[in-house]
Amino acid sequence: MSTSLPSFAPSAAFDDAPGPSLVQPETRRLDGAVREAYVPPFAPPVTHGSLADLPFDNASAAPGAVILSRKGEDGQWRDVTAAQFAEHVQAVAKGLIAEGFVPGDRIAVMARTRYEWTLLDFAAWAAGLVTVPVYPTSSVFQTRWILQDSGAVALVTETAAQAAALGPELDRVPDLRHMWVMEKGHVERLAELGDQQPDGEVGVRRGMLAPDTLATLIYTSGTTGRPKGCALTHGNFFAEVDNAIELLYPIFKARTSEEASVLLFLPMSHVFGRMVAVACIRARVRLGHAPSLKAEDLLPDLAAFRPTCLLTIPYMLEKIFNSARAKAEAGGRVSSFDRAASVAERLGEALEAKHAGTGGGPSATLKTARAFYDPLVYRRIRNAMGGRVRYAICGGSPLGRRLAAFFAGAGIEIYEGYGLTETTGAATVTPPLKPRLGTVGWPLPGTRVRIAADGEILVSGEQVLRGYWDPAAGGVVPAAADGWLATGDIGELDDEGYLTITGRKKEMLITAGGKSVAPAPLENWLRSHPLISQCMVVGDRRPYVSALITLDMDGVTHWRRMNGKHSVPAELLVTDDELRAILQRAVNEANKLVSRPESIRRFAILPTDFTEMDGHLTPSMKLRREAVLRDFAGVVEGLYEK
């Protein structure tokens, strides 16, 4: 048996082939701690033009290059070349102009992740318009608020039902003049409408745009209160994606014969998905759209599209790992799976040490074990993700060291990042050749990260938003007058400039004894357990820390099957002693991360999960803590009864 790593292993992804030379972040210290880190830009600033030019520049430079693949109604994926995409963009842009829209008008899009989303983005920009994404899961009230606040003159929905639901509210949205529905073919009709429009008008509109022109208003979902419209310019996107492309060259600049490709399935209503879509068009990396996150829909799309990179969140990687382990347990192979997981984690850590210069890399024994378990475990996980995935860009919340090491050892390198809507996506990201597991990487090139005296993370860079949309104030109100955006997150910089997120400023708990507690580390650890879906730590102004736990029903169904509990009604599981004992052991493990005053003393198992529909989660899967505390106030009080 060969002791060398197969070609898909992380060391192959991070070889010494040409790429940008990584520059160690410049750091500044205060009182013995690193308080600021800066990485100079890898890409020159864009001084003219806009995102609207990208489809046409691609068509001119490489007309036959496949830059998108579009899934048809028959389920088949069909390639779209640069020339074809430019034609589509031109046609829809002419249709928008024919409808009478003028530069600066706002057009809202309410749809899942699909080809038409990217098409409308670039077509609207080519017509000089500003796009306003709306989550397809938004309530009628939320949608109406965004349409009102943004002053949108048009709305494109994916379904007729979405459009119909807004009917009773339309008299409260006086600026809205047009409503189109994708499933009714209205986007195609827009293209037909523009047939009589001269091509030159689109060129004139594009020529009016500059890097500082407003490109989009993205409304933050927010964990409390009404969402705010983040005003992002074309220049914000260029600063973000151009530096990301140069930094993450293994994804965007393929150095092998294997075509680089990204299947996007996270919401394009979120800046994370929009940023990656723009980066793929910019770098001419084949982009596909998958509208459903349901396993029965997504797995066939992954198998047919076969991406080399995925855009994901920790929750999905946790589900992939837990599902793989559950299948192994059902097949009587759980011991083998656990040994394989341990090997992958140790290999990922050994690779990290090698890149950091603190170790010699995986031993021959570890390489042999990794080669042995690859066809038994790792390859099956990669095959479930399409078979060609080598990289994943992960954001939204901390992934954790264990899972990052596992996937690296299994042949999928994770680029973990941190950012906000206000930073047009990533403000920090894991640099190739320099992973630091458990962190969210270095500042994106061209970005400064500072830690304030109270631990809050501050960000400065050309990708930071112009300001927040405020129609009452006449447009955009600056968000960072001094050049520094206060993120509301708490973090730490280490000696080499790597950032670790430790919590959310507004979410910090202070117990009755005066102990400050960051909920995130405990919640993230527990959420990775196969039987736990969500966890919320409570204890503000209380004598000790407690937790509300919801069950992952896929994991619980598997556990019931494996333990002969089919006859136990689901609603009685919250009182099952065996289940509670398992969760208590998980809590005990999580408590090892913190001091005694910060540890979870008691917990309650809730009979229902936290969902976006019930108002307990934002569309990006963040907890709405005030809503949870309100709806489960009685349960919380019970945790503190003597």
Contacts of 50 (CB under 8 A, 6+ apart): 125, 206, 209, 210, 211, 213, 215, 234
Q: Are 14 and 411 in contact (CB under 8 A)?
A: no
521 exposure class (CB count in 10 Å sphere: 0-12, 13-18, 19+): buried
CA pair distance 389, 311, nearest whole angstrom? 11
pLDDT score for 562: 85
What amino acid occupies position 144? Answer: R
Crossing angle for the helix pair 115-126 and 200-207, to the nearest 10 degrees: 80
What amino acid occupies position 124? Answer: A
pLDDT score for 137: 85
Q: Which two tokens stand for residue 292?
A: 């459903």
pLDDT score for 7: 31
- For each of the domains in the chain, give its residue range(s) and CATH number, in order of start: 10-43+308-505 (2.30.38.10), 51-209+261-289 (3.40.50.12780), 508-638 (3.30.300.30)
CA pair distance 521, 230, nearest whole angstrom? 28
Q: Of 332, 325, 234, which Cα lies nearest the Cα of 278?
A: 234
pLDDT means per 10 residues, the chain with 642 residues, are 32 40 85 94 96 98 97 92 98 97 97 97 98 91 93 97 93 94 96 91 96 96 70 98 94 76 93 96 97 89 94 88 91 94 95 89 94 95 93 85 93 93 95 90 97 95 94 85 89 95 84 82 90 93 93 88 74 82 94 88 93 84 88 94 79
pLDDT score for 2: 32
pLDDT score for 556: 87
Tokens 């505390």 sit on residue: 629
Tokens 């494996």 sit on residue: 562
Q: Are 500 and 440 in contact (CB under 8 A)?
A: yes
Q: Of 250, 306, 252, which Cα lies nearest the Cα of 279?
A: 252
Tokens 């430079």 sit on residue: 61
Q: Of 58, 425, 460, 446, which Cα lies nearest the Cα of 243?
A: 446
- Residue 617 is given by DSSP the state B
Element containing residue 537 per DSSP (H, E): strand 532-538
* 77 bridge partner residues: 71
Q: Beta 485-493 vs 456-461: how paired, if at all?
A: antiparallel
Q: Beta 485-493 vs 475-478: how paired, if at all?
A: unpaired
Q: Are 35 and 28 in contact (CB under 8 A)?
A: yes
CA pair distance 511, 237, nearest whole angstrom? 42
Q: Which two tokens stand for residue 621?
A: 């899967």
CA 444 to chain centre: 16
Q: Of 421, 477, 468, 419, which Cα lies nearest the Cα of 229?
A: 468
What 3-state class would DSSP assign to 535? Answer: strand
Strand order in the sheet with 485-493: 26-30, 33-39, 447-451, 456-461, 485-493, 499-504
